[in-house]
Chains A and B, each alone.
Chain A
Amino acid sequence: MNADSTTTRLTAEKFDELYRTYGRRAQGFFLRMTGYDRPLAEDLTQELFARIWEHCSEYRSADSFATWMYAIAYNLCKNEYRHRIVVETYVQEARSAFSEAAPFFDTLERDEQKRLLAQAVQNLPVGQREVFMLRYDEELSIEQVAVVCGIPVGTVKSRLFTALQALRKQFKQNE
Protein backbone atom coordinates (compact mmCIF):
# COMPACT_ATOMS: atom_id res chain seq x y z
CA MET A 1 0.00 0.00 0.00
CA ASN A 2 1.30 3.42 -0.84
CA ALA A 3 1.23 5.31 2.42
CA ASP A 4 1.70 8.72 0.85
CA SER A 5 -1.39 8.50 -1.28
CA THR A 6 -3.63 7.67 1.67
CA THR A 7 -1.97 9.85 4.30
CA THR A 8 -4.47 11.81 6.37
CA ARG A 9 -4.08 14.12 9.33
CA LEU A 10 -5.17 12.72 12.69
CA THR A 11 -7.77 15.19 13.88
CA ALA A 12 -9.55 15.13 17.25
CA GLU A 13 -12.70 13.76 15.56
CA LYS A 14 -10.73 11.04 13.82
CA PHE A 15 -9.00 10.23 17.08
CA ASP A 16 -12.35 9.82 18.87
CA GLU A 17 -13.55 7.53 16.09
CA LEU A 18 -10.42 5.38 16.34
CA TYR A 19 -10.73 5.24 20.11
CA ARG A 20 -14.32 4.03 19.84
CA THR A 21 -13.32 1.40 17.28
CA TYR A 22 -10.08 0.15 18.80
CA GLY A 23 -10.31 1.17 22.48
CA ARG A 24 -11.95 -2.02 23.71
CA ARG A 25 -9.75 -4.22 21.56
CA ALA A 26 -6.65 -2.53 22.92
CA GLN A 27 -7.89 -2.76 26.49
CA GLY A 28 -8.75 -6.44 25.99
CA PHE A 29 -5.28 -7.02 24.60
CA PHE A 30 -3.69 -5.35 27.62
CA LEU A 31 -5.99 -7.26 29.93
CA ARG A 32 -4.82 -10.61 28.60
CA MET A 33 -1.22 -9.52 28.29
CA THR A 34 -1.06 -8.35 31.90
CA GLY A 35 -2.60 -11.48 33.36
CA TYR A 36 -6.08 -9.96 33.77
CA ASP A 37 -5.07 -6.90 35.74
CA ARG A 38 -8.03 -4.63 34.94
CA PRO A 39 -6.82 -1.32 36.42
CA LEU A 40 -3.45 -1.78 34.76
CA ALA A 41 -5.12 -2.61 31.43
CA GLU A 42 -7.19 0.59 31.71
CA ASP A 43 -4.10 2.65 32.54
CA LEU A 44 -2.17 1.15 29.64
CA THR A 45 -5.04 1.86 27.25
CA GLN A 46 -5.02 5.49 28.33
CA GLU A 47 -1.26 5.59 27.96
CA LEU A 48 -1.49 3.97 24.52
CA PHE A 49 -3.95 6.50 23.16
CA ALA A 50 -2.09 9.39 24.76
CA ARG A 51 1.00 8.21 22.90
CA ILE A 52 -0.96 7.82 19.70
CA TRP A 53 -2.07 11.43 20.00
CA GLU A 54 1.44 12.54 20.94
CA HIS A 55 2.82 10.87 17.82
CA CYS A 56 -0.11 11.85 15.62
CA SER A 57 2.31 13.10 12.98
CA GLU A 58 3.31 9.45 12.41
CA TYR A 59 -0.28 8.49 11.68
CA ARG A 60 -0.61 7.44 8.07
CA SER A 61 -4.06 5.99 7.45
CA ALA A 62 -6.90 4.14 9.10
CA ASP A 63 -5.90 1.02 7.12
CA SER A 64 -2.48 0.75 8.73
CA PHE A 65 -3.66 2.01 12.12
CA ALA A 66 -4.09 -1.45 13.71
CA THR A 67 -0.50 -2.50 13.06
CA TRP A 68 0.82 0.85 14.30
CA MET A 69 -1.40 0.75 17.39
CA TYR A 70 -0.43 -2.82 18.30
CA ALA A 71 3.25 -1.99 17.81
CA ILE A 72 2.94 0.78 20.42
CA ALA A 73 0.79 -1.46 22.64
CA TYR A 74 3.33 -4.25 22.35
CA ASN A 75 6.15 -1.91 23.42
CA LEU A 76 4.09 -0.72 26.37
CA CYS A 77 3.64 -4.34 27.44
CA LYS A 78 7.37 -4.97 27.07
CA ASN A 79 8.10 -1.97 29.30
CA GLU A 80 5.56 -3.22 31.78
CA TYR A 81 7.17 -6.68 31.85
CA ARG A 82 10.52 -5.12 32.62
CA HIS A 83 9.03 -3.39 35.63
CA ARG A 84 6.99 -6.30 36.83
CA ILE A 85 8.65 -9.39 38.11
CA VAL A 86 5.24 -10.01 39.66
CA VAL A 87 4.07 -11.39 36.32
CA GLU A 88 6.27 -14.42 36.82
CA THR A 89 4.66 -15.08 40.17
CA TYR A 90 1.25 -14.79 38.55
CA VAL A 91 2.16 -17.28 35.83
CA GLN A 92 3.31 -19.77 38.44
CA GLU A 93 0.05 -19.37 40.34
CA ALA A 94 -2.03 -19.69 37.18
CA ARG A 95 -0.09 -22.79 36.16
CA SER A 96 -0.77 -24.54 39.43
CA ALA A 97 -4.43 -23.48 39.32
CA PHE A 98 -4.79 -24.97 35.85
CA SER A 99 -3.21 -28.30 36.78
CA GLU A 100 -5.58 -28.57 39.72
CA ALA A 101 -8.63 -27.88 37.58
CA ALA A 102 -7.53 -30.01 34.62
CA PRO A 103 -8.95 -33.43 35.64
CA PHE A 104 -12.47 -32.01 35.63
CA PHE A 105 -12.16 -30.38 32.24
CA ASP A 106 -14.25 -32.83 30.22
CA THR A 107 -17.26 -32.31 32.44
CA LEU A 108 -17.08 -28.55 32.48
CA GLU A 109 -19.51 -26.19 30.84
CA ARG A 110 -18.53 -24.08 27.86
CA ASP A 111 -17.99 -20.95 29.97
CA GLU A 112 -15.66 -22.82 32.22
CA GLN A 113 -13.88 -24.23 29.18
CA LYS A 114 -13.34 -20.72 27.92
CA ARG A 115 -12.01 -19.62 31.26
CA LEU A 116 -9.57 -22.50 31.36
CA LEU A 117 -8.53 -21.89 27.78
CA ALA A 118 -7.76 -18.27 28.63
CA GLN A 119 -5.80 -19.50 31.61
CA ALA A 120 -3.94 -22.01 29.44
CA VAL A 121 -3.00 -19.21 27.04
CA GLN A 122 -1.64 -17.28 30.02
CA ASN A 123 0.54 -20.26 30.84
CA LEU A 124 2.32 -20.11 27.48
CA PRO A 125 5.86 -18.70 27.49
CA VAL A 126 5.79 -14.92 26.96
CA GLY A 127 7.21 -14.99 23.41
CA GLN A 128 4.64 -17.55 22.26
CA ARG A 129 1.80 -15.88 24.15
CA GLU A 130 2.46 -12.53 22.48
CA VAL A 131 2.33 -13.85 18.93
CA PHE A 132 -0.56 -16.17 19.77
CA MET A 133 -2.68 -13.33 21.13
CA LEU A 134 -1.86 -10.96 18.32
CA ARG A 135 -2.69 -13.62 15.72
CA TYR A 136 -5.77 -15.30 17.18
CA ASP A 137 -7.21 -12.78 19.65
CA GLU A 138 -6.47 -9.59 17.75
CA GLU A 139 -6.71 -11.32 14.37
CA LEU A 140 -3.63 -9.74 12.84
CA SER A 141 -2.03 -11.42 9.84
CA ILE A 142 1.24 -13.31 10.35
CA GLU A 143 3.07 -10.51 8.52
CA GLN A 144 1.51 -7.86 10.78
CA VAL A 145 2.48 -9.84 13.88
CA ALA A 146 6.06 -9.97 12.56
CA VAL A 147 6.06 -6.18 12.12
CA VAL A 148 4.55 -5.54 15.56
CA CYS A 149 6.97 -7.84 17.39
CA GLY A 150 9.93 -7.00 15.20
CA ILE A 151 10.73 -10.64 14.46
CA PRO A 152 10.94 -12.64 11.20
CA VAL A 153 7.80 -14.20 9.72
CA GLY A 154 9.34 -17.66 10.14
CA THR A 155 9.77 -17.10 13.86
CA VAL A 156 6.15 -16.00 14.16
CA LYS A 157 5.02 -19.19 12.41
CA SER A 158 7.13 -21.48 14.51
CA ARG A 159 6.01 -19.78 17.74
CA LEU A 160 2.39 -20.03 16.68
CA PHE A 161 2.83 -23.68 15.80
CA THR A 162 4.47 -24.50 19.13
CA ALA A 163 1.89 -22.51 21.09
CA LEU A 164 -1.05 -24.12 19.31
CA GLN A 165 0.45 -27.56 19.74
CA ALA A 166 1.00 -26.96 23.44
CA LEU A 167 -2.59 -25.83 23.91
CA ARG A 168 -3.96 -28.81 21.98
CA LYS A 169 -1.80 -31.15 24.00
CA GLN A 170 -3.11 -29.66 27.22
CA PHE A 171 -6.67 -30.09 26.04
CA LYS A 172 -6.19 -33.59 24.66
CA GLN A 173 -4.80 -34.75 27.96
CA ASN A 174 -8.03 -33.78 29.58
CA GLU A 175 -10.39 -35.36 27.07
Chain B
Amino acid sequence: MKKSDKLTCLEAESKELLQLLHEQTAEENESLTLRECRPYAQSSTAEEVAEVHPAPFVSSRRRMSPLWMAAALLVGVVIGLSIPRSVTSGREGTALLTDSATHCRSLATGDVNTSLLVSL
Protein backbone atom coordinates (compact mmCIF):
# COMPACT_ATOMS: atom_id res chain seq x y z
CA MET B 1 0.00 0.00 0.00
CA LYS B 2 1.19 3.52 -0.86
CA LYS B 3 2.27 5.92 1.89
CA SER B 4 -0.57 8.35 1.12
CA ASP B 5 -3.14 5.50 1.04
CA LYS B 6 -1.94 4.27 4.40
CA LEU B 7 -2.25 7.77 5.80
CA THR B 8 -5.72 8.23 4.34
CA CYS B 9 -6.84 4.93 5.88
CA LEU B 10 -5.40 5.89 9.24
CA GLU B 11 -7.05 9.31 9.04
CA ALA B 12 -10.38 7.63 8.32
CA GLU B 13 -9.90 5.27 11.25
CA SER B 14 -8.98 8.18 13.50
CA LYS B 15 -12.00 10.24 12.55
CA GLU B 16 -13.30 10.46 16.11
CA LEU B 17 -9.93 11.38 17.48
CA LEU B 18 -9.45 14.12 14.90
CA GLN B 19 -12.96 15.40 15.54
CA LEU B 20 -12.08 15.72 19.20
CA LEU B 21 -8.94 17.57 18.25
CA HIS B 22 -10.86 19.99 16.00
CA GLU B 23 -13.29 20.75 18.80
CA GLN B 24 -10.45 21.34 21.22
CA THR B 25 -8.63 23.64 18.78
CA ALA B 26 -11.77 25.62 17.98
CA GLU B 27 -12.56 26.09 21.67
CA GLU B 28 -9.01 27.17 22.44
CA ASN B 29 -8.95 29.66 19.59
CA GLU B 30 -12.34 31.01 20.61
CA SER B 31 -11.17 31.65 24.15
CA LEU B 32 -8.20 33.71 23.03
CA THR B 33 -8.18 37.47 23.29
CA LEU B 34 -6.39 39.34 20.58
CA ARG B 35 -4.32 42.38 21.44
CA GLU B 36 -4.55 45.39 19.21
CA CYS B 37 -2.03 45.12 16.43
CA ARG B 38 -1.37 48.14 14.22
CA PRO B 39 2.24 48.03 13.08
CA TYR B 40 1.40 50.42 10.26
CA ALA B 41 0.76 53.10 12.91
CA GLN B 42 4.40 52.91 14.01
CA SER B 43 6.91 54.45 11.65
CA SER B 44 9.83 52.12 11.60
CA THR B 45 12.24 53.59 9.10
CA ALA B 46 14.00 56.94 9.35
CA GLU B 47 12.35 58.14 6.14
CA GLU B 48 8.93 57.28 7.52
CA VAL B 49 9.75 59.09 10.76
CA ALA B 50 10.86 62.15 8.79
CA GLU B 51 7.63 62.01 6.81
CA VAL B 52 5.43 61.83 9.88
CA HIS B 53 7.44 64.11 12.18
CA PRO B 54 9.67 66.50 10.24
CA ALA B 55 12.55 67.26 12.59
CA PRO B 56 13.46 70.97 12.38
CA PHE B 57 16.51 70.58 14.58
CA VAL B 58 18.09 67.92 12.40
CA SER B 59 17.29 69.73 9.18
CA SER B 60 18.54 73.13 10.45
CA ARG B 61 21.79 71.53 11.54
CA ARG B 62 22.21 70.18 8.08
CA ARG B 63 21.58 73.58 6.52
CA MET B 64 24.09 75.44 8.77
CA SER B 65 27.20 75.87 6.68
CA PRO B 66 30.76 75.77 8.12
CA LEU B 67 31.14 79.43 7.17
CA TRP B 68 28.37 80.43 9.56
CA MET B 69 29.86 78.26 12.26
CA ALA B 70 33.28 79.95 11.81
CA ALA B 71 31.68 83.39 11.94
CA ALA B 72 29.83 82.53 15.15
CA LEU B 73 33.05 81.25 16.67
CA LEU B 74 34.89 84.44 15.69
CA VAL B 75 32.23 86.63 17.26
CA GLY B 76 32.54 84.56 20.45
CA VAL B 77 36.31 85.03 20.53
CA VAL B 78 36.03 88.80 19.96
CA ILE B 79 33.52 89.16 22.80
CA GLY B 80 35.68 87.02 25.05
CA LEU B 81 38.77 89.16 24.41
CA SER B 82 36.96 92.44 24.86
CA ILE B 83 35.90 91.68 28.48
CA PRO B 84 39.38 91.84 30.23
CA ARG B 85 40.13 95.10 28.41
CA SER B 86 37.10 96.75 29.87
CA VAL B 87 38.03 95.52 33.35
CA THR B 88 41.62 96.83 33.12
CA SER B 89 40.60 100.18 31.79
CA GLY B 90 40.85 101.93 35.21
CA ARG B 91 43.62 102.04 37.76
CA GLU B 92 41.67 99.99 40.30
CA GLY B 93 40.98 97.45 37.69
CA THR B 94 44.69 97.11 36.89
CA ALA B 95 45.55 96.66 40.57
CA LEU B 96 42.86 94.06 41.02
CA LEU B 97 44.04 92.15 38.01
CA THR B 98 47.63 92.23 39.25
CA ASP B 99 46.56 90.93 42.68
CA SER B 100 44.58 88.13 41.12
CA ALA B 101 47.51 87.18 38.93
CA THR B 102 49.78 87.03 42.01
CA HIS B 103 47.29 84.78 43.81
CA CYS B 104 47.04 82.45 40.90
CA ARG B 105 50.80 82.26 40.54
CA SER B 106 51.30 81.49 44.27
CA LEU B 107 48.58 78.82 44.17
CA ALA B 108 50.14 77.24 41.10
CA THR B 109 53.64 77.14 42.62
CA GLY B 110 52.41 76.00 46.03
CA ASP B 111 53.74 79.12 47.66
CA VAL B 112 50.47 80.04 49.34
CA ASN B 113 50.40 83.24 51.29
CA THR B 114 47.88 82.61 54.08
CA SER B 115 47.31 86.27 54.78
CA LEU B 116 46.32 86.73 51.20
CA LEU B 117 43.96 83.76 51.37
CA VAL B 118 42.38 85.16 54.56
CA SER B 119 41.97 88.53 52.94
CA LEU B 120 40.18 86.80 50.04
Contact A23 B20 (CB under 8 A): no
Q: Is the CB of A165 within 8 A of B29?
A: no
Report chain B residues within 8 Å CB of A114: 20-21, 23-24, 27
Report which of B4, B21, B35, B44 forms a contact with A117, defined as CB distance below 8 A. Answer: B21
CB distance from A3 to the nearest CB of B (A): 23
B contact residues, total (Cβ < 8 Å): 28
Give 1 or 0 for each of A99-111: 1 = CB within 8 Å of chain B CB.
Answer: 0000000000010
- Within A124-146, the residues touching B (CB, 8 Å) are 136-137
Contact across chains for B10 and A164 when beta carbons are under 8 A apart? yes
Chain A interfacial positions (CB closer than 8 Å to B): 12, 15-16, 19, 23-25, 27-28, 31-32, 41-42, 45-46, 49-50, 53-54, 110, 113-115, 117-118, 121, 136-137, 154, 157-158, 160-161, 164-165, 167-168, 171
Given contacts A49-B37, A53-B39, A164-B11, contact A27 B29 (CB under 8 A): yes
Contact call A171/B35, Cβ cutoff below 8 A: no
CA distance A113 to B24 in the complex (A): 9
CB-CB nearest in chain A for B13 = A168
A32 contacts B17, C-beta separation under 8 Å: no
Is chain B's interface secondary structure helix, strand, loop, or mixed overall?
A: helix
The answer to whether B21 and A137 have CB atoms under 8 Å apart is yes
User: Would you list which residues of chain B between 6 and 25 have a CB under 8 Å from chain A?
Assistant: 6-7, 10-11, 13-14, 17-18, 20-25
Residues of A near B14 (CB, < 8 A) are 164, 167-168
The 5 closest A-B pairs by CB, nearest first: A28-B29, A53-B39, A114-B24, A50-B39, A12-B40
**Chain A residues whose CB sits within 8 angstroms of the CB of B39 once the complex forms:** 15, 49-50, 53-54
Report if B46 contacts A (CB, 8 A). Answer: no
The listed residue (A32, A42, A167) touching B28 by CB distance below 8 A is: A32
